[in-house]
Structure 1
C-alpha cells in the first residue's frame, strides 16, 4: 500500500508513467474496499447467519421437549468426556435411565448424565423428540451468536482477501506491461548500442 502515499506526490512528476498512476489508484480503491465493503459484507453475512440460526433454534425448541429421567443403574465405562452438544466441560457418566415419552410410554435406554456420582433414583433432565426418543438439546442462543459472529468475520476476511488478490493481479499485469515496454525500448536501441556517432 506504499503506492497510496506516493499518489499525491507523483501526479505532476514528469517521470510518472500512466501505469504508476493506475497502480496507485488500484491500491487506493483496494484499501477503501477493505475498510468499507469488507466490514459491510461481514455484517450482512453475520446477520443472515444469525437469522438462520435463530429460526433453527425456534424449530428445535418446537420439536424437542425437556423431560425428567430417573437413574435406574449406573453402567460400566466410568466417566466419559464432555458432551459436545451441551457445550459444557462437565464430566458425564453413562447410566440406564427411565423416562416417560409424551405419548405416555415409558422409555428405558442408556444415556449420559452430568451427575457426578449417579445412584438409582437420582433424577436429571434430558431432551427428547415428540416420539420420546432422546435427542441433543436445542442450540443455545449464545452458541448461535458466536457462530454468526464467526461467519461474519470469516466473510469479511474472505472479501478483503479477494480484494487483495484482485489488486495483485492488476499489479502483475502492470509489471508485465512495463517489462514489455522496456523490451521494446531495448529492441529499438539495441542495434545502435555502443556505436560511435549514434548519440550514445
Structure 2
C-alpha cells in the first residue's frame, strides 16, 4: 500500500503515454515550491533572526544607563508613565536636558534612570539577552512565513496559468472533435 501511494504521487515523473508535457511542468512547479518553502523560508528566517540578534547586541554594547534629574513636576495621570523633562550628563561631560518617559506624579528633583547612546542622546533601553532572543526568533519566524507565502503564491499563480492553458487547449481540441460527431443535442 505504501508503494502504491508513492507511485501515485510520482506518476507525473514516470514515462507513460498519458503523461502530457504540462503534467511534467506542473510536477517541476510543485517540486520548486516545496524546495522554495523549505530552503527559502529557512534561509530567510535564519538570516533575519541573526541580523536582529546582532542589532540588539550592538544596542546593548552602545547604550548606557545614566542617572538623570527630573526638571519639573511630572503631570499626574491615570497612565503609569508620562513625558517629563530631565537633565543628565552626556559622555562628553556636557549637561543635557530632554524629554523622556517618567512615572506620573513624580516631583521635580526626583532621580530617574535614562538610557543614552554614545553621543549622549536619549534612547530606549536595549532589550536584555532573553528579550532580544525572543524578538529575533519572532522576526525570523515572520520572515520565514513571509517567504513561504510568496513562494506558495507564486506557485499557485503558475499552476493557475498552467490550468488556463490546459482549458484553452481542451477547448480547441473539442472544437475539432465535436463537429465529427455529427449529431447535436438540444
The question of a shared fold, defined as TM-score above 0.5 by the shorter chain, is answered with yes
**C-alpha spacing 1:74/1:24, structure 2 compared with 1 (3 Å):** farther
The question of 1:97 aligning with 2:86 is answered: yes
Unaligned residue ranges in structure 1 (runs of 5+): 81-90, 195-200
Match of 1:83 in 2: none
Question: 1:22 offset after TM fit, Å?
Answer: 4.0
**Partner Cα distance (2:100, 2:49) in 1:** 31
Q: 1:146 maps to what in 2?
A: 138
Partner residue in 1 for 2:14: none
Residue 107 in 1 paired to residue 96 in 2?
yes
8 A contact 2:77–2:105 mirrored in 1: no
Match of 1:131, SS? coil
Q: Per the alignment, do residues 183 and 63 of structure 1 end up closer, same or farther by CA in structure 2, a change over 3 Å counting?
A: same
Q: Does 1:42 align with 2:41?
A: yes
Distance 1:29 1:131, change over 3 A: closer
CA distance 1:164–1:41, change in 2 (3 Å): same
User: Is 1:73–2:65 an aligned residue pair?
Assistant: no
- 1:170 to partner: Cα distance: 1.4
Q: Give 1:121's aligned residue.
A: 109
Equivalent position SS for 1:132: coil
Q: Structure 1 CA distance, aligned partners of 2:99 and 2:19? A: 74
Counterpart-to-counterpart distance in 2, 1:151 and 1:71? 41
Report the Cα distance in structure 1 between the residues aligned to 2:49 and 2:106, rounded to whole angstroms: 38
Q: 1:75 to 1:120 in 2, by over 3 A?
A: closer
Q: CA deviation at 1:75?
A: 4.4
- What secondary structure does 1:74 align onto? coil
Kept in 2: contact 1:23–1:171 (CA 8 A): no
Please give the per-residue CA displacement for 1:160-196, whole angstroms capped at 9, x wherever unaligned.
Answer: 2211221222121111111111112235x27xx24xx
1:37 CA displacement: 3.5
Q: Structure 1 length normalisation: TM-score? A: 0.68
Q: Deviations over 1:3-35 (max 9, x none)?
A: xx8x84xx7xxxx9544x8448726852x5555
Change (3 A) 1:79 1:112: farther
Q: Tell me which residue corresponds to 1:131.
A: 119
> What is the rounded CA distance, in whole Å, between the counterparts of 2:70 and 2:92 in structure 1?
21
Aligned-partner SS, 1:127: strand
Q: Contact 2:68–2:88 at 8 Å: present in 1 too?
A: yes
Do the aligned partners of residues 127 and 156 (structure 1) sit closer, same or farther apart at CA in structure 2, a change above 3 Å counting?
A: same
Displacement after TM superposition at 1:48 (Å): 0.8
